[in-house]
Amino acid sequence: MFEARLLRSSILKKVLEAIKDLLTQATFDCDDNGIQLQAMDNSHVSLVSLTLRADGFDKYRCDRNISMGMNLGSMSKILKCAGDKDTVTIKAQDNADTVTFVFESPNQEKVSDYEMKLMNLDLEHLGIPETEYSCTIRLPSGEFARICRDLSQFGESMVISCTKEGVKFSATGDIGSANIKLAQTASIDKEEEAVVIEMEEPVTLTFACQYLNYFTKATSLSPQVQLSMSADVPLVVEYRIPDIGHIRYYLAPKIEEEES
Amino acid sequence: MGILGLSKLIADIAPHAIKEMEIKNYFGRKIAIDAYMSLYQFLIAVRSEGSQLVSVDGETTSHLMGTFYRTIRLVENGIKPVYVFDGKPPDMKSHQLNKRAERREEAEKELQKATEAGDQESIEKFNRRLVKVTKVHNDEARQLLKLMGIPVVEAPCEAEAQCAAMVKAGKVFASATEDMDALTFGTNVLLRHLTFSEARKMPVQEFHLDDVLKGLELNQREFIDLCILLGCDYCGSIKGIGPKRAIELIRQHRSLEEILKNIDTNKYPPPENWDYERARELFLEPEITDPKDIELKWTDPDEEGLVKYLCGDKQFNEERVRNGAKKLMKARTGTTQGRLDGFFTISTTPNPKRKAEEDKKNAAKKKKASVGGGRGRKPK
């Protein structure tokens, strides 16, 4: 028997919004510690890694480890039926081929349940090596979303370059070029609005704007976002979801055409 | 052509070996394309009002139209195509080629009849059957590709075999052809429908040889024997043995020699002088150019050359040709998107639950078969 209850359905709704553009289907692995999801998009350019810890739920019970393959489009449709303030409970029997979502209104007057068929997906195990990153940049998530949106008007790809002066985002295209520089915040009054840069070595990498724009769908989950970069390895974009877990996106960099 | 009924057999027994992909997922990949197959497709499919496109002198240009625009589409999607042309056909294929010639003759007769009767539909049908890729078509396509900056490989013999060798050597990612015998020749990855028209919205089918062999529970040598038994281009097959029987026999006896010893040859007579050994040899060690000696080089397109070649007599629209050349040029500059595969280790295991269900299903099927007489009714 698996049962997980969240007081606010809005978190789950936002999580789904943050992944459903990248993935059409995915496996939710549930065990004692919580719910995990790891999957690459079809073209193997980006990876989504989601963790929701058991202690973040209002009630969490998982007798046996289960993996539930879900169609994210269908799941999103179901979650749209929930009010933001509704409580949501996810339930499944051991070895079941369906999962049930129960929504309860705050005053307990309306209870609705939705049953969804599970999918038999192949299990993909991803080994992500532990990496020490040369640069980590923390900035307000809204600011990052804005930068990605603005720069994607100029070109398909964006260069992120981190030096000791600060971090620079730039794009070039048919209409011209754009550069946005952010310097480290001098005095931190509000942690949520700060730009913090930790750098051991300067790094410059190029990424596809399209994917970054998919990632920033997670903006409403967290006031801050953290970017980690090292030369020639995937970028990590991390949103910490307060009190319950995090969502991490990995993105393969664009590489200079080898001269053949 | 190719292997009779192989794709259906794989779809039935090893469905996991086939993946449906979008063309844009192949960005950055080098892909060897069977030139004969794609030219044939273009001659059949690139038409306006049922007849082929022609130059001022009435020479066909459908193959050039197809090669030009569909190659551009591949390049725009970030794919690096290589076209592989057939050399001389192997001796063993002469029988098959004779058969094809006979069929053409027949079609020609039918066409005459239809023309006399004025049956428009039949005229079109038999016209299509008469389509043949000639040396002229090949040469023209080769010249066009050179102007486009796309590399061309001349196979000494069968193009599928050359493609397969290039995949095995890691020179390219996959072979693209409709012929299933690319798998028999041992290509690790086979793509079908890659050069189909965009308008048909046909997903690209990706076959993985590893998964095919795993699904069929055979090794490569046994797989070749299975293909010969199904019916290949190089020798006949046993009458009365369909795909189902063929896979059962191979799984039971593991080689054609053993099968011949064990089946009732009166009931299932093998063809006279059945030279399956040479056919097998041909699949195992085909005549190919060593992939190490092949250098693949993509170069800038020659815009003026393309305009000179395609416009004028061949009646291509100059503006569209120039646009095409610009697209080719644009795709050469800039950066390529990387993949995560190189950074993370990925292992895929089929869902254990599904596997259990399938085993149950198979067991049920077998049981039914042994009881017999269960035709036409599904369990449940």
Query: pLDDT tens, A186-196?
Result: 877 788 889 99
Of all residues in chain A, the percent with pLDDT exceeding 90 is 82
Q: For testing the chain A interface, which of B77, B298, B333, B335 should be mutated: the one with the most A CBs within 10 Å?
A: B335
Rounded CA-CA distance B90/B280 in Å is: 13
Residue A127 near chain B (CB below 8 Å): yes
- Inter-chain touch B340–A206, beta carbons under 8 Å: no
- Inter-chain touch B337–A121, beta carbons under 8 Å: no
- Indicate if the pLDDT at residue B24 is higher than 50: yes
**Among B158, B153, B144, B147, residue whose Cα is nearest residue B62:** B144
| Chain pair A-B, CB pairs under 8 angstroms | 87
- Indicate if the pLDDT at residue B284 is higher than 80: yes
Distance from the Cα of A221 to chain B's closest Cα (Å) equals 25
Chain A residues with CB under 8 Å of B353 CB are 95, 120
Of all residues in chain A, the percent with pLDDT exceeding 70 is 98
Of all residues in chain B, the percent with pLDDT exceeding 70 is 91
Residue ranges per structural domain of chain B: 6-217+311-329
Question: Residue B202: which pLDDT band, with cuts at 50, 70 and 90?
Answer: confident
Give the DSSP per-residue string, B22-72: -GGGGTT-EEEEEHHHHHHHHHHH-EETTEE-B-TTS-B-HHHHHHHHHHH
- Indicate if the pLDDT at residue B350 is higher than 70: no
Looking at chain A, how many residues does it have?
A: 260
Residue with tokens 């239809």, as numbered in its chain: B114
Single-letter code of the amino acid located at B368: K
- Indicate if the pLDDT at residue B348 is higher than 50: yes
Identify the residue with better confidence: B116 or B140: B140
ipTM passes above 0.85: no
Supply the pLDDT for residue A82.
94
Residue B75: exposure state from Cβ atoms within 10 A (0-12, 13-18, ≥19): buried
Looking at chain B, how many residues does it have?
A: 380
Chain A residues with CB under 8 Å of B296 CB are 260
Q: Is the dihedral of CA A201, A207, A209, A213 positive or negative?
A: negative
Q: For testing the chain A interface, which of B208, B337, B347, B360 should be mutated: the one with the most A CBs within 10 Å?
A: B337
Structure token pair of residue B147? 């102007």
Supply the pLDDT for residue A131.
87
Of all residues in chain B, the percent with pLDDT exceeding 90 is 48
Nearest CA in chain A to B349: A123
The model's pLDDT over A34-85, given as tens digits with 9 standing for 90+, comes to: 999 999 998 889 999 999 999 999 999 999 999 999 999 999 999 999 998 9
- Inter-chain touch B349–A122, beta carbons under 8 Å: yes
Q: Please tell me whether residue B80 adopts helix, strand or coil conformation.
A: strand
Q: Could you list the beta-strand ranges (E) of A16-154.
A: 25-31, 34-40, 46-53, 59-62, 66-71, 87-92, 98-104, 111-117, 123-127, 135-140
Rounded CA-CA distance B310/B298 in Å is: 20
Residue ranges per structural domain of chain A: 2-117, 135-251
Question: Residue A171: which pLDDT band, with cuts at 50, 70 and 90?
Answer: very high
Distance from the Cα of B21 to chain A's closest Cα (Å) equals 8
Supply the pLDDT for residue B369.
45
Distance from the Cα of A259 to chain B's closest Cα (Å) equals 10
- Indicate if the pLDDT at residue B359 is higher than 70: no
Residue A259 near chain B (CB below 8 Å): no
Residue B298 near chain A (CB below 8 Å): yes
Identify the residue with better confidence: A89 or B275: A89
* A135-251 shares the fold of A2-117: yes
Beta-carbon contacts of residue B73 (< 8 Å; ≥ 6 apart): B23, B198
> What's the rounded mean pLDDT across residues B50-77?
87
CA angle A157, A158, A159 (to 5 degrees): 130
- Where are the alpha helices (H) located in chain B, listed in sequence order? 6-13, 35-45, 62-76, 94-117, 120-129, 135-148, 159-168, 181-184, 209-216, 220-230, 243-253, 256-262, 276-284, 303-310, 318-332, 352-371
- Inter-chain touch B340–A46, beta carbons under 8 Å: yes
Supply the pLDDT for residue A62.
95
Single-letter code of the amino acid located at B89: P
Q: Are B34 and B163 in contact (CB under 8 A)?
A: yes
Residue B24 near chain A (CB below 8 Å): yes
Supply the pLDDT for residue B380.
39
pTM of the model: 0.80
Residue with tokens 């693949």, as numbered in its chain: B296
Supply the pLDDT for residue B372.
41
Nearest CA in chain B to A38: B346
Q: Are A103 and A113 in contact (CB under 8 A)?
A: yes
Mean pLDDT of chain B: 86
Residue with tokens 């006949």, as numbered in its chain: B236
The model's pLDDT over B309-329, given as tens digits with 9 standing for 90+, comes to: 999 888 899 999 999 999 999
- Where are the alpha helices (H) located in chain A, listed in sequence order? 9-19, 72-80, 141-151, 209-215
- Inter-chain touch B338–A254, beta carbons under 8 Å: yes
A26-30, B259-263, B269-273, range with the lowest pLDDT? B269-273
Single-letter code of the amino acid located at B199: A
What is chain B's Cα-based Rg? 23
Question: What is the fold of A135-251?
Answer: Proliferating Cell Nuclear Antigen (3.70.10)
Residue with tokens 């040396």, as numbered in its chain: B135
**β B80-85/B30-34 pair status:** parallel
Q: Are B114 and B122 in contact (CB under 8 A)?
A: yes
Nearest CA in chain A to B16: A122
Q: Is the dihedral of CA B112, B116, B119, B124 positive or negative?
A: positive
* CATH of the domain spanning A2-117: 3.70.10.10
Beta-carbon contacts of residue A19 (< 8 Å; ≥ 6 apart): A26, A37, A48, A50, A72, A247
- Per 3-state DSSP, chain A is made up of helix, strand and coil in percentages (nearest 5) of 20, 45, 35
> What's the rounded mean pLDDT across residues B25-29?
88
Residue A40 near chain B (CB below 8 Å): yes
CATH classification for the domain delimited by B6-217+311-329, as one of 3.10.440.10, 3.40.50.1010, 1.10.3720.10, 3.40.50.720:
3.40.50.1010
Q: Please tell me whether residue B228 adopts helix, strand or coil conformation.
A: helix
Supply the pLDDT for residue B365.
53
> What's the rounded mean pLDDT across residues B125-136?
84
Supply the pLDDT for residue B355.
54
Nearest CA in chain B to A69: B351
Identify the residue with better confidence: B119 or B208: B208
The model's pLDDT over A195-251, given as tens digits with 9 standing for 90+, comes to: 999 999 999 999 999 999 999 999 999 999 999 999 989 999 999 999 999 999 999
- Indicate if the pLDDT at residue B374 is higher than 60: no
Residue A231 near chain B (CB below 8 Å): no
The model's pLDDT over A115-159, given as tens digits with 9 standing for 90+, comes to: 999 998 877 777 888 889 999 999 999 999 999 999 999 988 999
Element (H, E) at B341: none
> What's the rounded mean pLDDT across residues B17-34?
90
- Inter-chain touch B349–A208, beta carbons under 8 Å: no
Q: Which residues pair with B51 in a beta bridge?
A: B48
CA A76 to centroid of chain Cα atoms: 15
Rounded CA-CA distance B172/A247 in Å is: 36
Chain A, 198 to 227: residues with Cβ < 8 Å from chain B are 206, 208
Q: Are B338 and A255 in contact (CB under 8 A)?
A: yes
The model's pLDDT over B163-176, given as tens digits with 9 standing for 90+, comes to: 999 999 999 999 99
Element (H, E) at A248: strand A245-251
Q: Are A90 and A101 in contact (CB under 8 A)?
A: yes
Supply the pLDDT for residue B376.
40
Residue with tokens 């989950």, as numbered in its chain: A221
Cβ count near B214 (within 10 Å): 14
Single-letter code of the amino acid located at B52: Q
Chain B residues with CB under 8 Å of A208 CB are 337
Distance from the Cα of B302 to chain A's closest Cα (Å) equals 18
> What's the rounded mean pLDDT across residues B176-195?
94
Single-letter code of the amino acid located at B62: S
Question: Residue A28: which pLDDT band, with cuts at 50, 70 and 90?
Answer: very high
- Inter-chain touch A95–B353, beta carbons under 8 Å: yes
Phi/psi for B377 (5° steps) reads -120, 130
Supply the pLDDT for residue A228.
97
Rounded CA-CA distance B321/B316 in Å is: 7
Nearest CA in chain B to A236: B340
Structure token pair of residue B263? 């089946």
Single-letter code of the amino acid located at B309: Y
Supply the pLDDT for residue B379.
43
CA angle A79, A81, A85 (to 5 degrees): 80
